[in-house]
Amino acid sequence: MLGPSLRALRNRFPDARITLLASPAGARAAPLLACIDDVITHRATWQDASGALPLDPTREIGLVETLRGGAFDAAFIFTSFSQSPWPPAFACYLAGIPRRVGQARDFGGSLLTVRATPPPDCTHQVDRNLHLLQAIGVAVGDRDLAVAPPAEAEASADRALRRLGIAPGEPFVLVAPGASCTARRYSPSRFAQAITRLGRAVRMPIVLTGSPREATLVETIRVRARSACVRSLGGDSSVVELAAIVARARLLVGNNSGPMHLADACRCPMVILYSGTDLEEQWQPRRAPATLLRRPTPCEPCYRFECPYHMECLDIPASEVADACLDMLERTAHRARVPARIGAASSAPGS
């Protein structure tokens, strides 16, 4: 979601050294963004939604010292609609960074040297990030997500697929059943049923993938899916390898999670089980052909990590998921998909 803003910053300041301050998960995705020179990895208390991060003031003091050592000229603080810029702004203030740019409706004193008024909450996150730059006069070019997997990730993706018996250029369906919280995960049993139905109708491998912590989930679905065409990458793929695998897929099936954004960046057609945790307008794919499946509920958007109402927003029959996949495969059968790389042309959704 930050890629277009980083490209805009690079275009405005071509000789600048751009350092990304990111969570461990964000840092693992940083190699996909060609505009970054360095990464500072930090588990920030202001991003600890679960409250599980142990009390350790030295951790934040260490961040301030790291930032001070970087002798940065400016800090651009990008936040979602629900995040506050003030904690990271305070760290940057203590580090002596002279120019601190963020967007907030509430007043936070002089912690920000430039405080932009944020756009409406329903604004797409890509546009929200770019809004911050526009507020200080940075010209905005394209708004498309794009990734640039390193050569070693491309080679690793080919090796991983080859181990599953999938030759270079051979079409396959990629299924990513995981998500960062249970409120965004479609039922594993229904995933298995949908895969079973899809496997009876298509003549291509169906590949399951997930993060290391999702390996058990992936294996559970593989065992339950009664189809000889199902293969599994387990939880062995890194984010950068996954991006390269998504770029090779004929179709992605998953939840509203990271692989969905990778598919949008790679222009990979997708069918997404989009839970009611968020507004579609905030995070939905905008460039790749996409079908979003969700049942309307009075509690959406809930912004919860766990659902107390039996996941009614994802009460979608497996047959409907399989039919949506077949429809997307048919609609995009003759579509020449151009891999989205920095500077590459992109196709309009559904074209």
Indicate the angle between helix axes 188-201 and 318-331, nearest 10 degrees. 40
Distance of CA 283 to the CA centre of its chain: 9
pLDDT at 345: 27
Where residue 87 falls (left for φ over 0; alpha for ψ -120 to 50; beta otherwise) is: alpha
Which CATH superfamily groups domain 151-331? Glycogen Phosphorylase B; (3.40.50.2000)
CATH number listed for the domain at residues 3-134: 3.40.50.2000
Question: In whole angstroms, what is the distance from residue 107 CA to residue 115 CA?
Answer: 9
pTM over 0.75: yes
pLDDT at 87: 96
Cis peptide before 301 (omega within 30 of 0): yes
Comma-separated ranges of CATH 3.40.50.2000 domains in the chain: 3-134, 151-331
Question: Residues in the chain with pLDDT < 50?
Answer: 336-351
pLDDT at 346: 30
In the structure encoding, which two tokens stand for residue 122, read together? 């329903």
In the structure encoding, which two tokens stand for residue 219, read together? 């294996």
Q: Provide the b/e sequence for 163-173 (b: ≥16 CB within 10 Å).
A: eeebeeeeebb
Question: In whole angstroms, what is the distance from residue 350 CA to residue 335 CA?
Answer: 8
pLDDT at 335: 61
